[in-house]
A and B are shown apart, each in its own frame.
Chain A
Amino acid sequence: MSKPFMHFNNLTMSFTTRKETVTAVCDFDLKVDKGQVVSLVGASGCGKTTVLNAAAGFLLPTTGEVLLEGEKITAIEPRCGMVFQSYALFPWLTVKDNVAFGLKMKGLSRKQRHLEAQKYIELVGLKAFANAYPSELSGGMCQRVAICRALANKTDVLLCDEPFAALDAMTRQVMQQELLSIVQKSQQTVLFITHSIDEALIISDTIVVMSARPGRVKTMIDVKLPRPRDVNVQLTKDYIDLKKSIWDMVEEEVRSSLKLTKRAGMGQD
């Protein structure tokens, strides 16, 4: 068997607060192939974000490991580019300089990095806004810049933490399609967190349903629906059946998570 591109090898993540030790993720095991789009869905507080943070190297595992091309991630890993829900663009930099930020950190000359940034800005159709500041852009545009910024940094894996949750429903659909086209062009591997089963069904090759806390892989579903998964596909029986079965699984976890939080008297993560 060949080595998987990315491997969460029995990942367990615990956090010690003053009062207690909370295990957010327990024995999370997942293999991701190169170029795959994998979504993580589950009740809130089930440790989805913790898994992404472990992949980015922001948090280190309590036990287990995250392997990227066979190498263990032990520090912040620029090869895993994060796309945040709130964009996290640098407000004092223009679109062009935001996209070129990672290249600047690598020491590329101004001319080189702008040339490189320009390519990605054109890829997402923001050429006219290259010199605009983030405050002048809409939410959808900001998120495109954020995706560009990760891609321009030559990431191998795009980690998306509910990137479209702050967008309105229509912009969201357009962005899903755009993400897919960008991903196809650049051969990215994507790990995508979402609360929306529809979103997961539209973009994913594989959907991972996580159990309530402590989070582990409850089920993995390979989505074999034809692409692009436009409105026509979304009305087929296959799509609706799949959605129903995923919802049943998630619902069960949401209910047990609600019980859990009620008993512990605490909110979500």
Chain B
Amino acid sequence: MGRKELDLWSASVLGALGILIFLGMWELLTRTNIIDMFFLPPPSQVVQRAWNMTVNDGVLLVDIRMSAMRVLIGFLLSVIVGIPIGLVMGMNPYIRAMINPIISIIRPLPALSWIPLSMLWLGIDEQQKYAIVFMGCFASIVVYTTDATLRVDPLLQRAARNLGASRLQVLLHVTLPGALPDILSGLKVVLAIAWTCVISAEMVGANSGLGFRIWTAKEWSDTSQVLVGMICISLTVLLLDILFRFIEKFLLPWQSKD
């Protein structure tokens, strides 16, 4: 028997139902004081809080924008630097052998461990946030790009040379587009890492952003604001993921047509 697949419509209905049941239970458990509201406010209160923070003082939108900008700038910087290095490493075994150890040393370091140095060097400015994101993403992007480049079928590079392509043309017209699907799926993973970096950096030292908002709320034992912040992170990451999928479809039209 084959695995049963649901159509999109019934899957969405069931998904929504699951969320409703989860929220209902949560509301019930807190309203009946089985769970103390001080530790976990009911969803209705969280929603109201989110509404206030958005409509009344607008602080939430500013936080989302600040965090998103930090993620995007830090991420783009690491893409701009990481992809060319990865490509060169994928194509040249000598350069690969030389750079690999450095990357292997940087890669296991959690972005959090860069916070002390980055604060000493850059304070708590925006640049420090970019630096944290960059350090968290850069090595992974290099590794993903190198692997993607190595996975391009050498026969295609051969065929291109046979059709008169120079080495540079092979790089631009064969290796790069051939590696692109794997590079993009690597970038999707790294984008999620970038968010972790920003939130941590904001919790330690910042004046704005979702991480900052959550951390200050904790100081005031304001659990609903903590939850609002957490939900916002989740929704923003989901939204970016959807956006990324559109970019993927646009860049890889040949893959969606299977």
- Tell me the A residues contacting B by CB distance below 8 Å: 56, 58, 76, 78, 80-82, 84, 86, 88, 90-94, 101-102, 104-106, 133, 135-136, 149-150, 153
List residues of chain A with CB within 8 A of the CB of B161. 58, 76
Q: Which residues of A contact B183 (CB under 8 A)?
A: none
B84: CB under 8 A from chain A? no
Flag whether B160 is at the interface (Cβ < 8 A). Answer: yes
Interface 0/1 of B103-136, CB less than 8 Å to A: 0000000000000000000000000000000000
Kindly state whether residue B49 has any CB partner on chain A within 8 Å: no
Asked if B165 and A105 sit within 8 Å, CB to CB, the answer is yes
- Residue pair A78, B162 in contact (C-beta under 8 Å): yes
B258: A residues at CB distance < 8 A: 135
Of chain B, the residue at the smallest CB distance from A90 is: B156
> How many whole Å from A154's CB to the nearest CB in chain B?
10
Q: In the bound complex, do residue B254 and residue A76 qualify as a contact, i.e. CB atoms below 8 Å apart? A: no
Q: Which A-chain residue is minimally distant from B153 (CB atoms)?
A: A88
Closest residue of chain B to A132 (Cβ to Cβ) is B257
B80 at interface by CB-CB < 8 Å: no
Establish whether residues B163 and A133, one from each chain, have CB atoms under 8 Å apart when the complex forms: no
Cα(A88)–Cα(B174), bound, Å: 11
Residues on B facing A (Cβ under 8 Å): 153, 155-156, 158-166, 169, 173-174, 177-178, 180, 252-254, 257-258
Task: Report A-chain residues with C-beta under 8 Å of the C-beta of B153.
Answer: 88
Contacts of B160 in A (CB 8 A): 90, 101, 105
Contact of A88 among B156, B164, B177 (CB under 8 A): B156
Which residues of the other chain, B, contact A56 by a CB distance below 8 angstroms?
Answer: 162
B252 in contact with A92 (CB, 8 Å): yes
Q: How far is the CA of A98 from the CA of B165 in the complex (A)?
A: 13
A137 to chain B, nearest CB (A): 11
Q: Which residue of A lies closest to B155 (CB)?
A: A88
Please, which residues of chain A bring their CB within 8 A of the CB of B253? 133
Min CB gap A199→B, angstroms = 22
CA distance A149 to B180 in the complex (A): 23
A197 CA to B3 CA, complexed, in Å: 46
By beta carbon, the residue of chain B nearest A101 is: B163
CB distance from B34 to the nearest CB of A (A): 55
Give every chain A residue within 8 A of B174 (Cβ-Cβ). 90
Give B145 Cβ to nearest chain A Cβ, in Å.
Answer: 17
Do residues A133 and B173 form an inter-chain contact, with CB atoms below 8 A? no
Contact across chains for B163 and A149 when beta carbons are under 8 A apart: yes
Looking at the assembled complex, report how far the CB atom of B143 sits from the nearest CB atom of chain A, in whole angstroms.
23
Q: Does A105 lie within 8 Å of B158, measured CB to CB?
A: no
Residue of B nearest to A102 (CB): B163
Chain B residue contacts of A80, Cβ below 8 A:
162
Taking CB atoms, residues of chain B closer than 8 Å to A106 are 164
Contact of A88 with B173 in the complex, beta carbons under 8 Å: no
Q: Lowest 10 CB-CB distances: which A-B pairs, in order?
A: A78-B164, A102-B163, A88-B159, A133-B254, A105-B165, A92-B177, A82-B162, A105-B164, A88-B155, A92-B254
CB contact between A81 and one of B155, B162, B166, B257 (< 8 Å): that residue? B162
Nearest Cβ in chain A — how far from B130, in angstroms? Answer: 32
Contacts A76-B161, A102-B163 given; indicate if A86 touches B155 (C-beta within 8 A).
yes
Complex A-B: 25 CB contacts under 8 Å? A56-B162, A58-B161, A58-B162, A76-B162, A78-B163, A82-B158, A82-B159, A84-B159, A86-B155, A88-B158, A88-B159, A90-B156, A90-B159, A90-B160, A92-B254, A93-B254, A101-B160, A105-B160, A105-B165, A105-B166, A105-B173, A133-B253, A133-B254, A135-B254, A135-B257
- Bound Cα distance A130, B100 (Å): 43
Of the residues A93, A104, A136, A149, contact of B257 by C-beta under 8 Å = A136
**In the complex, what distance in Å separates the CA atom of A106 from the CA atom of B166?**
10
